[in-house]
A and B are shown apart, each in its own frame.
Chain A
């Protein structure tokens, strides 16, 4: 087992290094567009890493993670737009001003994602199986329709902010510097996931996924364990949403729609459910396909569908599973 773990670690490093190499190479070649694509892959990968904690390790098939992605995005858009207008976000019970500093925005985005995950998780984790999928979907759709009708922040048209938020010492407008920010956060999330999944908590989470009755019989409460994982997952996805908003300098209800939930799920499944770097590989492949095949045909998603079908049927361990020739992580 130790040998295989090392092999997994090598594959994880290779995937991450490839992403960085593509961005650096494109930067040196003066290809800013590809750097931005790599940034998008890093951000989507981060969202996938967040979902993987709940879905891959916890077995919680959430079809509503767009909620946290969109909340992170809207937090960022709202704070940024208020920073540029100079108007406070709220004045009661106390005054909250906007912000255009990433270091201030990220914690708020993560907190908002976490609080939403706590509320949604507390209710939906009382169900399981297909009901859990449907309840998480329903919550995310509620937020989606709320955002559509929230005219104060652009409603259906979304909310633009014209200047990317700032990070001390960096020019966030330079594509490679913004990529660096996203890649570092992705790396931190990967390390966090690796540590948490190998801890006592990770042991309990994975046990509850595989055999919840057994976990109870040794004194573990699966509900509390799963809710904690769900909240951590929502926080990471909230951060990804914040980065995505800054990448586009635009947020819209699309970030909250069920398509987005599905896409995040696709990253995880393509790369390998419950694999540390699976979502990163999945997101990178997704964006590659979108870019390459999307240039050939508007129907590229049909091909994506075939690929997904092939993976689910013949390689449930995802792309990483194909490389390691193993079904799934313990």
Chain B
């Protein structure tokens, strides 16, 4: 894999367009994610944020445009292949394997990232190549001591952390986090904010988020998506001061 040059974007989206019939959900979107940054993507409901994320991860195909990841064009790769390159995703609604324990969930991610899932013989639970990295990432995500709990029995906040542990297990080169703060409550949100600010040391984060306090606290840059179009990209201060953004999204009191 070619080592990207300093400050060359990790993720580079150019002219992405996706239409569902007459509805243009993604309209000529260009966006990049640079090393070390948290780039927040905000916008009203229905602006096309989730559709954009789905195109980046390879779940749906754009009509036109191109995505480069670490210098490599990934348009032809399916979602599993993109994940293995280190494009780690969390979901808007927590998505884990409910009957698995925390440990098994993260082991699954370690195994998936390794690309070696067609191993039929050895018990996964005694495979230290899976368990050791898994336990490490579980601790990293703040779930130590909870590794034997069934995922379905976790609290909402813990499930969010489990998703982060699974993302970390992919040896991510970029995170795509889709509303990680949703439904977290005040204390949980604060905890998660501090976890996210540490995550950026692992890899840059493209953060889709409604919680403006978190966005303003975390983001280096913000892009505003309205009706499938990016109407502004800039620093927190620039976005707060941008009249068009205030009108269409933040509201005059922001």
**Interaction A to B:** yes
Could you mark each residue 197-220 of chain A with 1 if its beta carbon is under 8 Å from any beta carbon of chain B, else 0?
A: 011111110110011011111111
Q: Which residue in A196, A200, A214, A221 is a CB contact (below 8 Å) of B111?
A: A200
A218 to B166, CA, bound (A): 8
B19: chain A residues at CB < 8 Å are none
What is the distance, in angstroms, from B142's C-beta to the closest C-beta of chain A?
Answer: 20
| Segment 296-323 of A: residues with Cβ below 8 Å from B | none
In the complex, B128 has a CB within 8 A of chain A? no
Residue pair B112, A218 in contact (C-beta under 8 Å): yes
Separation of A43 and B246 alpha carbons in the complex (Å): 72
Contacts of B104 on A, CB cut-off 8 Å?
Answer: 203, 330
Report the interface size class on chain B. Answer: 35 or more
Can you give 21 contacting A-B residue pairs, CB < 8 Å? Answer: A199-B122, A200-B116, A200-B130, A201-B119, A202-B120, A203-B107, A203-B108, A204-B108, A206-B99, A207-B100, A210-B100, A213-B59, A215-B112, A217-B57, A218-B113, A219-B80, A219-B81, A219-B83, A219-B113, A224-B118, A330-B100
Q: Does the CB pair A220–B112 fall under 8 Å?
A: yes
15 extra interchain contacts, Cβ-Cβ under 8 A, other than A195-B121, A218-B166? A195-B120, A200-B118, A200-B127, A202-B120, A203-B100, A203-B107, A207-B100, A211-B97, A214-B97, A216-B80, A217-B89, A219-B113, A219-B170, A220-B80, A224-B118
Residues of B within 8 A of A (CB): 57, 59, 78-81, 83-84, 88-89, 91, 95-101, 104, 107-109, 111-113, 115-125, 127, 130, 148, 150, 166, 169-170
Q: What 3 pairs between A and B have smallest CB-CB spacing?
A: A218-B112, A219-B112, A219-B83
Q: Which residues of B contact A204 (CB under 8 A)?
A: 108, 111-112, 117
- Given A200-B111, A200-B119, A330-B104, A217 and B124 contact (CB-CB distance below 8 Å): no
With a cutoff of 8 Å between Cβ atoms, the chain A residues found around residue B98 in the complex are 210-211
Assuming the A-B contacts A198-B123, A203-B104, are A216 and B83 also in contact, with contact meaning beta carbons closer than 8 angstroms in the complex?
yes
Contact B83 A203 (CB under 8 A): no
Which residues of chain A are near B124, meaning CB under 8 Å? 198-200, 202-203
Chain A 58-111 interface residues, beta-carbon cutoff 8 Å to B: none
How far is B120's CA from A187's CA once the two chains are assembled, in angstroms?
18
Would A218 and B95 be within 8 Å (CB), given that A199-B123, A202-B124 are in contact? no
- State whether A228 touches B118 (Cβ < 8 A): yes
Q: Is A328 in the interface zone, CB < 8 Å from B?
A: yes
CA distance A211 to B152 in the complex (A): 12
Contact B121 A199 (CB under 8 A): yes
Q: Which residues of B contact A211 (CB under 8 A)?
A: 95-98
In the assembly, what is the distance between CA of A201 and CA of B130, in Å?
A: 13
Contact B108 A207 (CB under 8 A): yes
Chain A residue numbers with a CB within 8 Å of B79 are 216-217
Q: Is the CB of A199 within 8 A of B120?
A: yes
Q: In whole angstroms, what is the CA distance A201 to B100 when docked? A: 14
What chain B residues lie within 8 Å of A213 (beta carbons)?
Answer: 59, 91, 95
- Chain A neighbourhood of B59, CB < 8 A: 213, 216
Chain A neighbourhood of B107, CB < 8 A: 203
With A204-B111, A204-B117 known to touch, is A210 a contact of B95 (CB < 8 Å)? Answer: no
Is A1 part of the contact surface with B, judged by Cβ < 8 Å? yes
Query: Would you call A225 an interface residue if the criterion is a C-beta within 8 Å of the partner chain's C-beta atoms?
Result: yes
User: Distance (Å) between the CB of B66 and the closest chain A CB?
Assistant: 22
Chain B residues near A201: list those with CB within 8 A.
117-120
Residues of A close to B91: CB separation below 8 A: 213-214, 217
From B99, B115, B116, A210 is in contact (CB under 8 Å) with: B99
CA distance A224 to B127 in the complex (A): 22
- The docked-state distance in angstroms from the alpha carbon of A38 to that of B5 is 70
CA of A247 to CA of B83, assembled, Å: 50
Q: Which residues of B contact A228 (CB under 8 A)?
A: 118
A220 touches B117 (CB 8 A): yes
Cβ of A219: which chain B residues have Cβ within 8 Å of it?
80-81, 83-84, 109, 112-113, 115, 170
Interfacial chain A residues near B113, Cβ < 8 Å: 218-219
Whole-angstrom distance from the CB of B11 to the nearest CB of chain A? 16
Q: How far is the CA of A293 from the CA of B29 in the complex (A)?
A: 69
B169–A218 CB distance below 8 A: yes
**Which of B78, B89, B111 makes the CB contact (< 8 A) with A203?**
B111
- Mark out the residues of chain A between 215 and 255 whose CB falls within 8 Å of any chain B CB in the assembled complex: 215-221, 224-225, 228
Q: Are B120 and A218 in contact (CB under 8 A)?
A: no
What CA separation (Å) do A201 and B124 show in the bound complex?
9
A328: chain B residues at CB < 8 Å are 99
Give Cα distance in the complex from A196 to B89, angstroms: 28
Q: Is the CB of B101 within 8 A of A199?
A: no
Quote the shortest CB–CB distance from A229 to chain B (angstroms).
Answer: 10
CB distance from B237 to the nearest CB of A (A): 34
- Do residues A217 and B83 form an inter-chain contact, with CB atoms below 8 A? yes
The minimal Cβ–Cβ distance linking A329 to chain B, given in whole angstroms, is: 8
Task: Give the docked Cα–Cα distance between A196 and B121 (Å).
Answer: 6
Closest chain-B Cβ to A160's Cβ sits at a distance in Å of 38
Question: Complex Cα distance A221/B111, Å?
Answer: 12
Q: Give Cα A203 to B127, complex, Å.
A: 12
> How near does chain A come to B39, taking the closest CB pair, in angstroms?
20
B76 to chain A, nearest CB (A): 15
A258 to B76, CA, bound (A): 41
Q: Which residues of A contact B166 (CB under 8 A)?
A: 217-218
